[in-house]
Amino acid sequence: MKTWNNFLNNIEVKNELEKIYEFIETQEKKYAPLKVFPKKENLFKCFELTPFDKMRVVLIGMDPYINEIDNECQAQGLCFSVPDNFPFPPSLKNIFKELIDDIGCEYPKNGNLTKWGKQGVLLLNRTLSVLQGNSNSHKKEWSNFNIKLMEFIINNKDFCIFICWGNDAKNCLKKFDMKNHIILEAKHPSPLSANRGGFFGCKHFSKTNEILKKNGYNEIDWKL
């Protein structure tokens, strides 16, 4: 049975990570006092939270949040999620608006999505690090890692639902054979994109559960 260690210990992946670690170290020195987010111990938190054998859903984000509040970074290694008691970023507010419209739950009091990850939703950012205040600043460095990761998941899971919000998420699956998997696509939940239409009303939370149930898997309790 495959685990995330099979992926992370692959020699090609290890070589990519060595380059990334070196790049992050260079960034921290070059741009100090700016920081690299998330904290190093949270870089692979999504994998720690969602074991490979339990994963049935992959929610694909772009890159980590770039800001901090009271010297604590918003980014915690999980896409769209923020630590307990943090203000909700605009994209997360829109996600929660769609959530309550879709499944009829109460508006979440907390932006920490750990509960989803524990139920088999991989909360994956395409880029796992970012320079404080600089969106997509590490995108190029993580691109090869991301391709190898998608390849590993697609080739080693018999069935998975990929939730892709925005073109960046959709494009990362284009070159793969997805015949065993299901892709749910919508516009990105950021205000600039979502308010133009194509995100609200996508009903991806209920659709995911319908697909899981149809295929004999446990539904996700999306309520927070």
Cis bond leading into 189, ω under 30°? no
**Alpha carbons 42 and 36: distance in angstroms, whole number:** 11
Catalytically active residues, by annotation: 63
Query: Which pairs from 164-169 meet CB under 8 Å and 24+ separation?
Result: 164/60, 165/60, 165/61, 165/189, 165/199, 166/62, 166/190, 166/193, 168/62, 168/126, 169/60, 169/61, 169/62, 169/126
Cis bond leading into 64, ω under 30°? no
**Alpha carbons 55 and 48: distance in angstroms, whole number:** 11
User: Please, what's the b/e burial string for 134-144 (b: 16 or more CB within 10 A of its CB; e: otherwise)?
Assistant: eeebbbebbee
- How far from the centroid of its chain's Cα atoms is residue 61's Cα? 4
